[in-house]
């Protein structure tokens, strides 16, 4: 995680102005990246276990190398997936208000420590001429979460794709995540939530942002 996320809790923060440090490959070049290298990852993880001096004949460790590789194949499936299909439909109402999709669960892997971080994403948008089916927001979040990530980039990537494909008048993506690299090590603070936010278009407006967060609050009562 970056320095800004070392001060977790409190309000959702926009990303500081800095170049993206995402390790992700460009989505356009990813589709032909081929299958997940299960065997290579299993061999590498076996070396890791050996370097710890563990007895790999222990019944609980037999096959662990391959199980770990298979688990990462699933957890990092976004590295090889094609960008999700997002069929939109026309917005018949000319003056649509804010649409909120709250509490989308996500699970990701911290690129800095390769430990899980997980939580909820919330999306709000003021429609332009197109609307998007509600289930598609979860697809977009999942697509970017399932790769080595930092939460700030994940938030921006979800916002960028929705902005590009949906062309809303305004868009906000807020994410809150618990990072095991902060809970199991480092500052060791249990249950702390890191909050990140990305805004586009009319959602830069603070009163619209307040409306969004108050709607989120209502959905939790």
Q: Which residues bind Zn ion (CB under 5 A)?
A: 1, 110, 112-113, 181
Choice between 2 and 77, CB closer to Zn ion: 2
Q: Which two tokens stand for residue 153?
A: 């980039």
Residue nearest to Zn ion (CB): 181
Task: With CA atoms as reference, report the closest residue to 163 among 111, 125, 214.
Answer: 125
Pairing label, strands 88-90, 99-110: unpaired
> What is the nearest approach in angstroms of Zn ion to the Cβ of residue 156?
17
How many CB atoms lie under 10 A from the CB of residue 162? 23
Choice between 1 and 102, CB closer to Zn ion: 1
At residue 198, the 3 state secondary structure works out as strand
CA distance 198 to 125: 12
Choice between 101 and 110, CB closer to Zn ion: 110
> What is the nearest approach in angstroms of Zn ion to the Cβ of residue 187?
11
Choice between 101 and 111, CB closer to Zn ion: 111
> What is the nearest approach in angstroms of Zn ion to the Cβ of residue 181?
3
Task: Spell out the residues 6+ positions from residue 38 whose beta carbon is closer than 8 angstroms to its own.
Answer: 66, 69, 70, 73
Choice between 110 and 199, CB closer to Zn ion: 110
> What is the nearest approach in angstroms of Zn ion to the Cβ of residue 78?
18
Residue 85, CB-side half-sphere exposure with 13 Å CA sphere: 2
> What is the nearest approach in angstroms of Zn ion to the Cβ of residue 186?
8
CA distance 164 to 131: 13
> What is the nearest approach in angstroms of Zn ion to the Cβ of residue 71?
18
Choice between 66 and 112, CB closer to Zn ion: 112
Task: With CA atoms as reference, report the closest residue to 161 among 105, 107, 92, 81.
Answer: 81
């Amino acid at each position: 995680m970056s320095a800004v996320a070392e001060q977790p809790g409190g309000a959702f923060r926009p990303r500081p102005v800095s170049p993206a440090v995402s390790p992700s490959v460009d989505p356009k070049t990813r589709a032909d990246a081929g299958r997940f290298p299960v065997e290579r990852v299993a061999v590498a993880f076996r070396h890791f276990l050996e370097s710890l001096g563990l007895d790999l004949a222990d019944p609980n460790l037999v096959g662990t190398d391959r199980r770990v590789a298979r688990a990462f194949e699933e957890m990092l499936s976004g590295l090889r997936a094609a960008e999700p299909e997002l069929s939109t439909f026309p917005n018949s109402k000319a003056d649509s208000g804010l649409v909120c999709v709250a509490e989308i669960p996500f699970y990701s892997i911290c690129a800095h420590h390769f430990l899980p971080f997980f939580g909820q994403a919330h999306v709000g948008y003021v429609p332009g001429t197109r609307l998007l089916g509600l289930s598609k927001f979860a697809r977009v979040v999942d697509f970017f979460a399932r790769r080595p990530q930092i939460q700030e980039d994940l938030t921006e990537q979800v916002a960028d794709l929705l902005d590009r494909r949906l062309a809303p008048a305004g868009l906000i993506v807020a994410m809150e995540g618990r990072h095991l690299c902060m809970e199991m090590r480092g500052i060791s603070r249990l249950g702390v939530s890191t909050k990140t936010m990305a805004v586009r278009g009319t959602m830069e407006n603070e009163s619209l942002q307040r409306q969004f967060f108050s709607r989120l609050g209502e959905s939790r009562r």
